[in-house]
Amino acid sequence: MTRKMTEYKTKMDIAKLDVARQRLVVASSKGATAVLDDLNTSYSGLQEVAVEQMRLRYGSNKITRGKKDSLLKRLWDAFVNPFTAILFVLAVVSFVTDVAMAAPSEKDAMTVTIILAMVLISGLLRYVQETRSGNAAERLSEMVETTTAVEREPGGRGELPLDEVVVGDIIYLAAGDMVPADVRILKAKDLFVSQAALTGESEPVEKRPAVVREEQYDAITEYHNLAFMGSNVISGSAVCVAVATGDETLF
């Protein structure tokens, strides 16, 4: 991909985020019924045809991940670090003093050889360990499938994988759940959400469905009727509607 294409893609991604952010702000300022009307949905959920239309319009609920590092990049990261740099400097000093500047009868490359062997072994061990841990994490993520409770027509409420959630889906949250998308709270009972992973706040934040006035908060993360993908429900329950999914989510 050329530099111009990369810059264009970055600008497009930023534009999409701005649109999604504005959609969240608008949803927070309207009542539940108006929000559902704007998203062409209802408390009964989307029909299958509407689900596909929403997926085509707003995309799937998958976060685009960067490409896996190449072999050369992983080897570079394994060998280029402060520890190996110090060892390499010691090897150079030892070479100069024990080989290059030493008398012919006193030349001794043993120290240089040992230090370089330590650099090689250290780098290889780090490369092998990081490769194994990365592969193990990938296999584990493939084995674990997180689901969320979604209401759809005509089947009613059921558990769906997170990546099948689309904008307009009616989502039910309970204690222990992860918020599967950026959502507008429609109904809530004693709902407290942890946003620590997103904002660093240590205390759970209370969420409620009341309309937000535009000047009420400084940051969108403070909006009491919005919850964001990746946050966790600490207590209570809620009925929400998905407003932004996948790469359009704020975090």
State pLDDT tens for residues 178-217.
999 999 999 999 999 999 888 888 899 999 999 998 778 8
Residue 139 pLDDT > 60? yes
pLDDT, tens only, 27-62: 999 999 999 999 999 999 999 999 999 999 998 898
State the average pLDDT over residues 127-144.
74
Q: Does domain 3-61+165-248 have CATH number 2.70.150.10?
A: yes
Look up tokens 């085509």; give the residue. Answer: 56
**168 in Cβ contact with 41 (< 8 Å):** yes
| Domain residue extents for the chain | 3-61+165-248, 87-142
* Distances in whole angstroms, Cα of residue 99 to Cα of each of 93, 104, 105, 109: 10, 8, 10, 6
3-state secondary structure of 155: coil
Q: What does the block give as tokens for 197?
A: 């992973």
Question: In this predicted structure, what is the pLDDT of residue 4?
Answer: 40
**116 in Cβ contact with 91 (< 8 Å):** yes
Residue 65 or 203, more confident: 203
Question: In this predicted structure, what is the pLDDT of residue 172?
Answer: 97
pLDDT, tens only, 70-117: 788 888 888 888 888 898 899 999 888 888 888 888 888 888 899 999
Question: In this predicted structure, what is the pLDDT of residue 69?
Answer: 75
Residue 10 pLDDT > 60? no
